[in-house]
Structure 1
């Protein structure tokens, strides 16, 4: 009889659900995963300078003087415009960004259009497809008036012109084509 009781206890323990251990393990994994996400995705970026305001760059300041959609602008590049002759993909549009850089420091500003890209939600970081000038070194007191053309998605949000360094200049929303 005692052997039967022991056999029933063993059988009872074996039939208990093992999910009691899974719940605390799942909670622990969830907490650790959430903490990891917060640590990796909660990096605060400097806010972008408002459209038309100046932002600092190495050697001086930068500001956007205009953002013009090429579809309604009528602008034609003065030279080397082959990159703009291709069709714009569905769901995107091209914008011409008028960037002004002023060298304030004795070392001046070394400008390279290839350093600039558009950052924002849904952009995929488009880089310049046409620029004039493409490179220039401005001495103290000199201003560079650069024209940068980008191809950006129609539904992108919170667009910022960035050089992956100090510059973060807001592009506003006026160039958007209302999701067309």
Structure 2
């Protein structure tokens, strides 16, 4: 069959094929489908991660104020730099004999925990770390006591020693749970 609107009077491709054969349809190469699909999936995953991980943490409790912990309340009674404090550990101070690395300093955190609940309160120094900008989550290098349990109405006075970078900001004592106690800025500044 000849189509008059075609200038070269060619016949239709369908007529050139045998009637028993199926006309092949044009297929899209796989990479043209997979690449956009992978990009859409990556963007959706990234958006989900941002939504779940960019939630603002509760601000820490101000220095000197109490925060709740399992079984009672916690409060920081002092943050003292060891370099100017002159304090010596009463026992087992071998961990503090090593030199402080350049760009860091040690602080002694005086933590008070008071048991208010009937089950009392349990304390483990290894649960605590310092969180903040530029800290890398320093862990306790010396503590007294290292662990203790208090009955309802009793208090635990703990001394925790940390080694923190001089440039760290917004420092918070945390137990990895809900407890977030601000360390203030008196022990150092970012310019130190």
TM-score w.r.t. structure 1 length? Answer: 0.80
Partner of 2:64: 52
Partner of 1:148: 160
Provide the secondary structure at the position in 2 that maps to 1:39: helix
Structure 1 stretches of 4+ moved >4 Å? 27-34
- Please state which structure has a larger fraction of its residues in helix: 1
Aligned mate of 1:80, from 88, 92, 105? 92
1:163 aligns with 2:175: yes
Conserved? CA contact 1:52–1:65, under 8 Å: yes
- Tell me which of the two structures has the higher relative contact order, counting C-alpha pairs closer than 8 angstroms and 6 or more residues apart: 1
Deviation (angstroms), 1:35: 2.2
Quote the Cα distance in structure 1 between the aligned partners of 2:102 and 2:44. Answer: 41
Distance 1:95 1:86, change over 3 A: same
Deviation (angstroms), 1:42: 1.2
TM-score w.r.t. structure 2 length? Answer: 0.76
Quote the Cα distance in structure 1 between the aligned partners of 2:49 and 2:183. Answer: 29
Partner of 2:138: 126
**Which 5+ residue runs of structure 1 have no aligned equivalent?**
3-23
1:98 aligns with 2:106: no
**Which 5+ residue runs of structure 2 have no aligned equivalent?**
1-6, 9-35
Across the aligned residues of Structure 1 and Structure 2, the Cα RMSD in angstroms comes to 2.4
Aligned mate of 2:75, from 63, 68, 74? 63
* Bigger radius of gyration: 2
1:108 aligns with 2:120: yes
Conserved? CA contact 2:168–2:190, under 8 Å: no
Conserved? CA contact 2:169–2:190, under 8 Å: no
Provide the secondary structure at the position in 1 that maps to 2:74: strand
Conserved? CA contact 1:160–1:168, under 8 Å: yes
Distance 1:85 1:177, change over 3 A: farther
